[in-house]
Amino acid sequence: MKVLFASVALLATQSITAQADVVSLQFYKDSCQKFLQSETEDQNMYLWWGAGRISKDLQKDPKTANIKVDDAAASQMLRDYCTAHPDALFVDAADAAKAQIAGTPKP
């Protein structure tokens, strides 16, 4: 029993002293370069947010309300825009992709 308790105590101590990497994603403030250089899981969060913003904004306008967003196509548009404009804000990439999907001039 003492060995088991010592093992549990050691594991608890190790988990307390382990540091977690915390990444802050600020979709309205982060650059395309930060998106492109982020970990895959973080890129997926950016893409999820971007596709959601595009869909939501399209729904606001009666002229575009019935346009369905293909998440894979929107993700590729976001990646393409960010690759071409690494210094732009990620939110601007989402707005440009929305304009492309809606068939309107880019903002």
Sign of the C-alpha dihedral computed for residues 90, 92, 98 and 103 taken in this order: negative
Could you tell me the residue ranges of all domains in the chain? 24-102
- Of 3.40.50.720, 1.10.890.10, 2.10.10.90, 3.90.1300.10, the CATH number of 24-102 is 1.10.890.10
Q: What integer pLDDT is reported at residue 27 of this predicted model?
A: 83
pLDDT, tens only, 80-92: 999 999 999 999 9
Positions of the chain with pLDDT under 70? 1-23, 105-107
Residue 97 to residues 6, 43, 62, 79: CA-CA distances in angstroms?
56, 16, 18, 10
pLDDT, tens only, 66-80: 999 999 999 999 999
The backbone torsions φ and ψ at residue 31, rounded to the nearest 5 degrees and listed phi first, read: -85, 165
Q: What integer pLDDT is reported at residue 9 of this predicted model?
A: 46
